[in-house]
């Protein structure tokens, strides 16, 4: 291997080490008894944190809630983002630049700025303490970013394809559904992955919108902190909460590595 190759590999290995170090700590702690329990000394290694995790009904419900709201969020975001991304990519209309700016402004608005009115609005609509409420609130940042990602994928498809389809008598919606959608399938997958990633780990909306019911994993984790926190159990739940995402990344690895042009027109 030549010198640049060695430097590149070394940089990657160092960064990978930096990335996994806190995760190793987490894994080690998750297999350690951190609170005195009958028949277990503090500091001894144990599977008990994981058996607690599987048997505790509150934690099991939290996993179900998290999966539910993320799926609902993706099911709302994608169908709404797709036509918008198509419009931003292919059409020009009065105010398009400003509208895109407004969308981006909502993506970068910190959730804490809108927590209070969103809580009031959702209370009025009766969707507080339900997975649907969180799913809807998370559209605030997932929808703009989805439009941005999908726009890149659509722009990579030659425009001639649209024009040929229109000559063949396709209407725009039918063209999007029949021809464009299969072409940008990897883009849909990548977008869904980013929605999952940003939504799964968010806590500010998740906290204010679930005071009694519908708590996701992050809030179940919060509830574990107290006067005597079982940090081993906390780490076990955290590790378990990363598994769905890790599986998803692994399935997505080829889509991600093939590269995609994001943004731009």
| 61 is a site residue for another protein (CB under 8 A) | no
Q: Minimum distance between the CB of residue 146 and another protein, rounded to whole angstroms? A: 9
102 bridge partner residues: none
Rule CB under 8 A: choose which of 35, 54, 105, 185 binds another protein. Answer: 105
Burial of 263: CB neighbours in 10 Å, binned 0-12, 13-18, 19+: exposed
Compute the C-alpha angle 175/181/187, nearest 5°: 145
**157 Cβ contact partners less than 8 Å away, ≥ 6 residues apart:** 180, 183, 184
Site membership for another protein, residue 212 (CB under 8 A)? no
Site string for another protein, 225-254 (x = CB under 8 A): ------x--xx--x--xx--xx--xx--xx
CB of 66 within 8 A of CB of 215? Answer: no
CB of 233 to another protein, least distance (A): 12
Residues 148-207 that bind another protein (CB under 8 A): 148, 152, 156, 172, 197, 200-204
Q: Considering only residues 56, 64, 67, 115, which one is a binding residue for another protein as defined by CB under 8 A?
A: 115
Pick from 90, 129, 170, 186 the residue near another protein by CB under 8 A: 90
Query: CA nearest 48: which of 58, 57, 36?
Result: 36
Q: Does 260 bind another protein (CB under 8 A)?
A: yes
**DSSP 3-state assignment of 36?**
coil
């Amino acid at each position: 291997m030549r010198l640049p190759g060695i430097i590149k590999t070394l940089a990657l290995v160092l960064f990978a080490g930096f990335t996994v170090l806190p995760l190793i700590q987490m894994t080690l702690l998750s297999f350690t008894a951190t609170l005195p329990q009958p028949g277990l000394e503090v500091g001894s290694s144990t599977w008990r944190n994981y058996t607690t995790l599987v048997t505790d009904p509150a934690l099991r419900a939290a996993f179900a809630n998290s999966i539910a709201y993320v799926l609902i969020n993706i099911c709302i975001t994608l169908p709404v983002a797709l036509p918008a991304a198509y419009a931003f990519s292919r059409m020009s209309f009065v105010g398009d630049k400003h509208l895109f700016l407004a969308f981006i402004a909502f993506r970068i608005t910190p959730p804490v700025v809108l927590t209070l009115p969103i809580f009031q609005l959702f209370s009025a609509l009766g969707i507080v303490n339900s997975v649907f409420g969180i799913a809807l609130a998370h559209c605030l940042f997932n929808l703009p970013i989805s439009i941005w990602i999908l726009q890149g994928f659509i722009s990579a498809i030659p425009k001639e394809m649209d024009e040929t389809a229109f000559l063949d008598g396709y209407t725009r919606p039918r063209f999007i559904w029949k021809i464009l959608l299969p072409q940008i399938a990897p883009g849909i997958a990548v977008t869904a992955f980013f929605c999952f990633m940003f939504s799964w780990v968010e806590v500010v909306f998740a906290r204010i919108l679930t005071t009694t019911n519908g708590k996701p994993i992050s809030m179940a984790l919060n509830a574990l902190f107290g006067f005597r926190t079982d940090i081993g159990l906390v780490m076990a739940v955290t590790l378990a909460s990363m598994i769905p995402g890790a599986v998803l990344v692994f399935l997505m690895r080829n889509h991600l590595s093939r590269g995609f042009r994001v943004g731009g027109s």
